[in-house]
Structure formats: C-alpha cells, structure tokens
Amino acid sequence: MQKETAEQEGLKRSATQWAVAWRRFRRNKAGVAGLAIVTAFVLLAIFGPFFAPYPPRSSESLFQGEAGQPPSWKHPFGTEINGIDVFSDSLWGARNDLWIGVAATAIGIAIGIGVGALAGYARGSIGAILLGIIQFFFVIPTLLLILLLSRIAQVLVLHGFGITLIILILGLFGWPGVSYVIRGEIFRVRELEFVQAEKALGASNSRILFKHIIPNVLTPVVVLASLGIAGNILTEVVIFFLGFGPPNTATWGQLIEEGVQYISIYPWVAGFPGMLTVLLVFGFNLLGDGLSDALNPRLRE
C-alpha cells in the first residue's frame, strides 16, 4: 500500500511523453481547432442519426409534394429533386463517411505497420523484395484501380456489401505510404545508440525490436492516421461523386453527385454536404498538423 502511493506520486510528478506532447498540442491553436471540429463530427456521427427526421435515402417528402425545396424549418438543408431530405441524409452520411474514413485508415495502417516493420528490420533480399512490393503499390494509379474494383464488385454479386466493400478497397490500397514511413523510421531508430546500449546489456533481439524499436516509431503513425482519414473521406466522396459507390447509400459523396446535376436550380443539395466534407477534412488536416508539431522530437523541450 505504502509502495503503491509512492509510485503514484512519482508518476504524477513526472510527465510522460504523451503528457508532454499534449501540453505542446494545447498551445497550438490550429491543432486544438482541428480537434474540436473532429470531435464535433464524431459526436454528430454517433448521435446525429438518432435525431434525423427521415430514414436514409427516404423519398417521403416527394409524396408530400416537397421535392426540390430550398432550406426551411421543416427541411433545414432543403430537399432534393426526388424528395430526399438533405439534412437527414447529411446526418446519416456523417456516420457513413466517418466510418469509411476511420475503418479504411485502420486497415491501411495495420497493414502498413506490419509490412513497414518487416521491410525495415529484415536485411538483404527479404527487405529488398518487400521494398519492391511497397514501391509497386505506391506507383499504381490507386484511384483508377479502386473505381475499377468497385465497378467489378457491383457487377458481380457483391452489391450487398455496400460501404464495407469501399472500406476494404480503400484500406487494402492505403498502406504503402504508412509502410514507407515506418520502414524509414525503423532504419533511423535501429541506428540510435540506445539500441546498441540495450544490446550491450544483454537484451535479446526480439526484446529490442518489440520493446524499444517499434514503440519508438509509432508517433508518426498518429499523424498519418489523422491525415489518412481525411484522405480516405475525400477519396470516398470522389468514388460516390463519379457514380461508383454502392447504390442507395447515404453518404455526402452520393448527395453531391445528385446535387451537382441540378446545381444551378437546387444548389443546397450539393452545397451542404460539400461544406461538411470540406470542414471535416480541414479539421483532420489541422489536427494532423497539430499532432505532427506536438510529436516532433526535434521540437521537444
């Protein structure tokens, strides 16, 4: 009991790396603004749909003669030509878009860390082969391939998959950047003196890799995750905008696609989800920049 309190006291006294980063982050106004925007959208994605007046992709308003109406109290974001309530679909879309961004990025980062760590730690031919694979995935025109795959998937039996398919495709092609960074970081950390020092104390290779090298390369991943989510949301919007998304799915990209056709008559249909997209992506970018500054070891005091 005595010992425990002493330990807690000591822990309180001493700031961890993350606490130091958080202190730095709080001083960065743009980063905090980004965090606020992202938090707001996360809450919106979780709770928003409960307050949505209409179910997703519902044409109910069409039968009430309220299609193609400008914003009003009943339809805050207006309605679309088929009677879809833009406000409701924007809320449902927030959930879908954020989920696509987060899940696809999680898959991409998991693969990226695995491949990158292996490519960085393995020397000789295995490392060279892995680097070749990373570079191959880096240079292929990802967007075209994603469009092609999602069209193929739609033609085949897979249209029931909906956004899960989009998540998988984005994730499976979204890792080369992460693995490049991880590989480079491992190269850097592996040469640091503390790795030699651990070896000189009799630590085993696996202990050094898992306890000292990998934890030390994870900080840039936090930044990459934030920027990756923004990128994946944008790509998802593009997929839907080009009409390659699974049909009947409430996303911002879908609304923008529908709205652009009548942009001069019903500008609110593409306008509101478009603004939401820009705001969320902007928020993630600010957050990413803030994190990158806060975690940059060269700026640490």
Which residues form the interface with other proteins (CB under 8 A)?
3, 6-7, 10-11, 13-17, 20, 123, 191-194, 196-204, 212, 215-216, 297, 300-301
Q: Which residues pair with 79 in a beta bridge?
A: 85
Pick the closer one to other proteins by CB: 16 or 264: 16
* Sign of the alpha-carbon dihedral angle for 161, 166, 171, 176: positive
State the nearest-atom distance from the C-beta of 198 to other proteins, in Å.
7
Q: Supply φ then ψ for residue 175, to 5 degrees.
A: -100, -20
Pick the closer one to other proteins by CB: 9 or 40: 9
State the nearest-atom distance from the C-beta of 294 to other proteins, in Å.
14
Pick the closer one to other proteins by CB: 11 or 36: 11
State the nearest-atom distance from the C-beta of 204 to other proteins, in Å.
7
State the nearest-atom distance from the C-beta of 139 to other proteins, in Å.
25
Tokens of 276: 């939401």
State the nearest-atom distance from the C-beta of 12 to other proteins, in Å.
9
Pick the closer one to other proteins by CB: 95 or 212: 212
Tokens of 273: 């989800």
Pick the closer one to other proteins by CB: 3 or 157: 3
